[in-house]
Amino acid sequence: MQIGYITLGLVRVEMKKRVKKIRGTRTCGGGSHKKRRGKGSKGGSGNAGAYAHHFVRSLKQGMKKGKQGSGSGSSSGSTRHSNSKTYDAIMNVGELAEKLEELIKTGKAEERGDAVFLDATQLGIRKILGRGELRGKPKLIVRVNEISGIAKEKIEEAGGRIEMIEMPIEE
């Protein structure tokens, strides 16, 4: 089945797409002119419907449900046992390779002989992943909290090395 064409016997007839068909009409397929009229059709104002009909929007904005205060006890809105996930800053090997010259110029990475030393924790990167290539780039010496197996292989194949940092255990 092809979109935009219909076959009638041996003749192939081109059909206009629906969007093109409704352009130029008064309501562009929205029904009566009374339906998509104004403010009343937007679903409320402010955070109305944040956990109902505008749920996806509130997720994207990072809104949390309930009291969000800090302190001890349930009355102050303690978030000690929060179900919200924290996403660690991650970066791919290819992205590091692309930004290497810029990092050297700004002083966030330094050249040590034929290699480049990069402390990823100072850049706010907690984990390095393996997507991308290191071809034609200098050897990397990377200090990082976590690294994927593929990223470690790629850096070591290019002649670099990894320095792991022990993370403190939070209680």
- Residues 64-85 have pLDDT tens digits of 777 765 555 544 444 454 454 5
Pairing mode of beta strands 109-112, 115-119: antiparallel
pLDDT at res. 51: 86
Residue 117 lies in a domain: yes
Sign of CA dihedral 78, 83, 84, 86: positive
Residue 27 lies in a domain: no
Residue 6 β-bridge partners: 13
CATH number at residue 143: 3.100.10.10
Residue 127 lies in a domain: yes
Residue 6 lies in a domain: no
Cβ contact 163:122 at 8 Å: no
Please list the pLDDT of the chain residue by residue as tens digits (171 residues).
445 555 666 665 566 677 888 888 888 888 888 888 887 788 888 888 888 888 888 888 888 777 765 555 544 444 454 454 555 688 899 888 888 889 899 998 999 888 999 998 888 888 999 999 888 888 899 999 999 999 999 999 999 999 988 766 665
Residue 105 lies in a domain: yes
Retrieve residue 149's tokens: 């197996």
Which DSSP letter does residue 170 get?
A: P
Give how many domains the chain has, as a whole number: 1
Integer angstrom CA distances of residue 64 from 2, 57, 58, 81, 85: 44, 12, 8, 13, 11
Residue 30 lies in a domain: no
126-147 pLDDT, tens per residue? 899 999 988 888 889 999 999 9
pLDDT at res. 40: 77
Residue 124 lies in a domain: yes
Residue type, 115: A
Question: Which range marks the domain in which residue 95 is found?
Answer: 90-164
Q: pLDDT above 70 covers what percent of the chain?
A: 75
pLDDT at res. 69: 57
Residue 122 lies in a domain: yes
Using CB atoms within 10 A of its CB, is residue 4 exposed (0-12), middle (13-18) or buried (19+)? exposed
pLDDT at res. 2: 45
pLDDT at res. 1: 42
